[in-house]
Structure 1
């Protein structure tokens, strides 16, 4: 680093204008000191990384992502960084002031006439970062989420007030106070918006109090429907007629509230049948069934698909509202009658819907799309960093047009007050007192870039100015993109759809109909909800991080098999109870029954490991006939791929996905989390013992698998109770190989087994598992979470697991008396 007396580092080639040299000298004087130069350099580097991170999150991640949810890991890192940002930058701001005082020789008075350039730059960073703070702050809507509101709001209020103190008590020049005052007003406005949204969400019948209304609505509605139609009539209605009769609330339930009673709300159910009353799923399906396409009504037309998506989206929204009761403290849990009705609605209504728009050839697509959209609603409601849950025409007008107009008026008053009421002086001082504006931002940038590689001072000044540019561009882009996300969100589509259903004038408007179709089509193109990704992992391969694992879309055949298994349970739960895979071995071919001994365990983790090892060894022993890439899209029918390879893909994909859950998300499995971890760690030790340290860490896949399968001969005659889970998997693989040699359709068996096992682990086991699924939503969701939501709302459960006998205290003290 050059000495502070060396003026050659400030010599710039910028034409005849030497004022830029003075500006750079003032800006980078801290870099040439003898004590704090490394601190200043480190600060600029950290700020550059932070600014680049915000810029990347607001630009490059938006190319294929229109979600309002931030990745939890990134959110945690940014939250930690921002919690330390204000105190650190406040210290550096103070040091920059002191450095300027010393260099100006103004120690006697202890202050300077105005803030130095370096201090103003740091203050700019602080204000811009405060504007971007909302990027990592969730929208707190419900009463259960308000516990963290006070701490969050208090911290933000403290930051905004401190920044206001730095702006209005340190800046003397009118133009500088006006510019920095505008930035501070924007910070304060964002804070006020956040507080207002939180308070309105908490007290709103449509948000904070919505679950309590539904707790009263569902039993009253089902009781009234049972008295009106009768149970036999309800069971006879299927398909589109069943969906049109659905009275699950989509929007407007607050209109039914008459009063609050000792056991919940007293509701006026007559509002459901009014023209401008409550909007239900049935009303939407009936109304959209009347709509005809503008050009044609062929099954593959854009209008037909748009209507089908909107109809399914309404069901997703209604189910999302009902599922919220699992995550919030409510006075009553869903009743058995409700889960039975929901199961009847989904499996006898949605999955058997007929008609052009329903796309009846692919009912599994409709089912998974509905549940996937439901989880997206749930994820954005609890983890969104943008106010998408308030999206409506009214909210768009107020939040993105009226509020900016009010803020603009406040900023204008701030500029005028900065010049003591002299409007012409205030406007003129903005350019005069801010050097970057007076000389021109473009001219300053060109000069710095031209000299960045040849002059150290220009290089450091370029870094500092670039940080400000990145932060400012990230803020502008975030504001524009927030509006786009809200406008294209499913929430706004639902608001338009409900207003369309409730208002006759909207139904007669071709503009509204076209807007609904186009918004639905654009959103579907930007985020295809048909793709349900499953991460792939094999316990026989060495891997540390889940982020490095590949993810494949769930194939259509797997969706179809899962749907059929769930429908079989819904039709007769006693005849087809869920099992850990053993029931799949007893269907059709009786020669598979000996393999059921590998499912005789109360530990789901042990069954997963045993069959996963066997499936992996089988996949290596008998390579596929066709490349798997032909169905990698996950949304095609798989035409051109033999049935053998399709079932093989289902088996291997679900096997690797279950292994991934076992290794990286044991909290999502039915077993106790600690017991699952212990089982997995024990398997790794056994595998390392079987392969040796060198083979466990470094051998290629084929050599690992060959080593294991070659040891199968030594396991014959050994009791199952004496074998480790690795040995059980190898022995099972050996028996499967023998079946293949006997020309048995082994991949059909394995595909059915893994479908059965995946469905088995779907239902929730306890409140701890429900909490784990809620946290998994913020990370993008999992297939098992989707199955959990579906089975929870339809009342599909696992049979009780045999528990260990527990002795009482008396039995322990007096065993002879027992």
Structure 2
């Protein structure tokens, strides 16, 4: 009976080890894709793996410790599990709160090592196991210690403020220098730090107690962005790097370091300088079609920012290339190769409890082999992901600039191969969408959200039903950059575009409402009605309607309208108004829509079979037009109908109407982008990223930190 109980305990231990192994392997592989995915399934799967891994490891080690029998492989399995826990380089935390609770993680790891020490002492008596076990023990210390360092580095209350102060002080000193000779086309005069300050001597100077580089010679050890552009090597020349993509990798990294100051709450002293605006206007956007380059640079910059908060890459590359990490990879490969014959010939001691498969194979040895394969798989995946990451590219390029001795043809080929390989995209380049007139009647499922489930999962508000994501149109980026070039540093919520198009007197009232949430929702409703009008026109031929729908202005206006409505409904912290006020207003707009459009929502049959979709849209359009004819309109839903009526009656030409709407939405998108809530942007990076975050970063580097209060 005791033997059966022991075998059952052993089976539980092996099951939990296998489950934990699979969960952490999933974290390692799919955590790399997390940054660019909006998939809720992937998000919750990674969350479950992240949360359950530590719990399962604790429980499994408890089972091993409380077992009444001894198996020498217990200590090996326990060491493997802790190595697994710290080995996921691509995900150090799931949320920002995890970085601030780094002390809890350190305590959890301490408890795990306490259990591991007991297991090694109790279950290991063979001398041949002791040396490999202690090697694995120190390897696990390295891995879990690296994760602890990553949590500390990303902590906004501790590591981030300390590591960013040198950059902040350096930019403070540089901003006091004359910048009249600055040339953004060749980055002359732009002393944006890239790498090298770790090895330079730094002193603190009164009275401001700024951190400064001590001597000119030490200053030369530091790589700044102007040095990248002035490098005379063939790799970074106009022939070796004709489109400037290699130099832009370093530029993205330098901008990421500058952006970190916003999260550490340091000032942007260079924002008041003219050369900061010129950097964007005459540098990033100097040529026609440079909107693609600008967003590529910002996209890569936000990839670095994501890695800072959610991965171990900043720790791995803190002192240069991760040579020690690569050495560990070689040791793991050799160790797995050596372990194969030992597992093949493994024999239990007579006193051991053991399990056998139906084929006569030793289950303990088989489980150990599976774990070894999983470790090997993780190491191989991470070796390529780490060594071909953007962090590695920056490091190689800085070595190339700093050390002329490596500027030979062989090294240039190696660096070019590394820099031109893109294993992962920082962002999936999709735009979230929401349409009020399509989703106002939506109610959360009673089966999923009820009094029994609400304590565990939050119940969505009524009317919150996302439309399908759309691929970010190229014309949309072009329209926004055109608006930025046209308006300069003066941001307006659409009034300037109305002035340019000569319709300020007729339509500008809709830009001067009580809050920006009012403005967005009124223009969104009006844009949606103009879209419905285009579908319901009888006079215009089908071919003309198709041409209008495929026009760039139509795409820009409708996609940005639905994206801004999505921000109101799902991401109010990224908008200018107080988040709760935005939520409160939105909830009441849903109530208004249900009252005013009663009878236009889907019936049960229509919901089940998606019938009469066009008929429903026609009823909504006709009902809204009647609202637009009423006097004394105060509600947002009615104001939207009035604005739609003005657009349709006062601007007869369809093409002109969509041009006005496209320019207004592009302008409004820039207007809402500046924000002081950096945390909200960082949180959304973990959920796939938001387009407005790209604009927020771009405007920050242009010196536009806030909108005009007027």
TM-score, structure 2 as length reference:
0.79
Match of 2:498 in 1: 585
Relative to 1, partners in 2 of residues 1:715 and 1:432: Cα closer, same or farther, differing over 3 Å?
closer
Task: State the 1:713 CA deviation.
Answer: 4.3
Task: State the 1:362 CA deviation.
Answer: 2.2
Match of 1:12 in 2: none
> Does residue 397 of the first structure (1) align with residue 319 of the second (2)?
no
1:502-522: CA deviations, max 9, x gaps?
A: 111122x11222222222211
Match of 1:513 in 2: 412
Question: Where do 1:89-488 residues align within 5 Å?
Answer: 89-93=60-64, 97=67, 112=69, 114-115=70-71, 126-134=78-86, 148-171=101-124, 184=137, 186-194=139-147, 209-224=162-177, 226=178, 231=180, 233-234=181-182, 237=183, 240-241=185-186, 243-254=187-198, 257-262=201-206, 263-265=208-210, 267-268=212-213, 271=216, 276-287=220-231, 291=235, 297=239, 303-304=240-241, 308-328=244-264, 330=266, 333-335=267-269, 340-352=274-286, 360-384=287-311, 386-388=312-314, 390-391=316-317, 395-401=321-327, 431-434=345-348, 447=359, 471-488=371-388
> Does residue 602 of the first structure (1) align with residue 517 of the second (2)?
no
Match of 1:711 in 2: 623
Task: State the 1:193 CA deviation.
Answer: 4.5
Relative to 1, partners in 2 of residues 1:87 and 1:212: Cα closer, same or farther, differing over 3 Å?
closer
**Equivalent position SS for 1:601:** coil
1:152-188: CA deviations, max 9, x gaps?
A: 2221121022022123313556677787766555433
**Equivalent position SS for 1:712:** helix
1:656-709: CA deviations, max 9, x gaps?
A: 111211111111111101101101111122222234488257555434432221
Contact 1:54 1:474 in 2 (8 A): no
Structure 2 residue runs without a partner (length 5+):
445-459, 538-545
Contact 1:213 1:264 in 2 (8 A): no
Question: Where do 1:563-642 residues align within 5 Å?
Answer: 563-570=481-488, 573=489, 577-590=490-503, 593-623=505-535
Match of 1:19 in 2: none
Contact 1:533 1:551 in 2 (8 A): yes
Q: Which residue of 748, 751, 756 corresponds with 2:662?
A: 751
Contact 2:189 2:226 in 1 (8 A): yes
Q: Which residue of 783, 786, 801 corresponds with 2:694?
A: 786
Match of 1:656 in 2: 562
Aligned partners of 1:174, 1:536: CA distance in 2, in Å?
Answer: 63
Contact 2:100 2:151 in 1 (8 A): no
Match of 1:538 in 2: 435
Aligned partners of 1:516, 1:172: CA distance in 2, in Å?
Answer: 49
Relative to 1, partners in 2 of residues 1:89 and 1:27: Cα closer, same or farther, differing over 3 Å?
same
1:449-477: CA deviations, max 9, x gaps?
A: 9xxxxxxxxxxx99x99976665444322
The count of corresponding residues between Structure 1 and Structure 2 is 659
Match of 2:398 in 1: 498
1:173-206: CA deviations, max 9, x gaps?
A: 667778776655543342345457778999xxx9
1:46-98: CA deviations, max 9, x gaps?
A: 7766544433344467689899xx98755543343234324433454466x3x
> Does residue 777 of the first structure (1) align with residue 691 of the second (2)?
no
Q: Which residue of 634, 641, 649 corresponds with 1:738?
A: 649
Contact 1:538 1:659 in 2 (8 A): yes
Select the structure of larger CA radius of gyration: 1
Relative to 1, partners in 2 of residues 1:578 and 1:474: Cα closer, same or farther, differing over 3 Å?
same
Relative to 1, partners in 2 of residues 1:93 and 1:291: Cα closer, same or farther, differing over 3 Å?
closer
Relative to 1, partners in 2 of residues 1:434 and 1:240: Cα closer, same or farther, differing over 3 Å?
farther
**Equivalent position SS for 2:470:** strand
TM-score, structure 1 as length reference:
0.69
Relative to 1, partners in 2 of residues 1:681 and 1:170: Cα closer, same or farther, differing over 3 Å?
same
Deviates more, 1:161-170 or 1:793-802: 793-802
Q: CA RMSD in A?
A: 4.5
Structure 1 residue runs without a partner (length 5+):
6-21, 32-39, 98-110, 298-302, 353-359, 416-426, 450-460, 626-639, 803-818
> Does residue 668 of the first structure (1) align with residue 574 of the second (2)?
yes
**Equivalent position SS for 1:745:** helix
Task: State the 1:729 CA deviation.
Answer: 2.2
Relative to 1, partners in 2 of residues 1:84 and 1:539: Cα closer, same or farther, differing over 3 Å?
same
Aligned partners of 1:755, 1:713: CA distance in 2, in Å?
Answer: 26
Aligned partners of 1:696, 1:781: CA distance in 2, in Å?
Answer: 33
Aligned partners of 1:340, 1:272: CA distance in 2, in Å?
Answer: 30
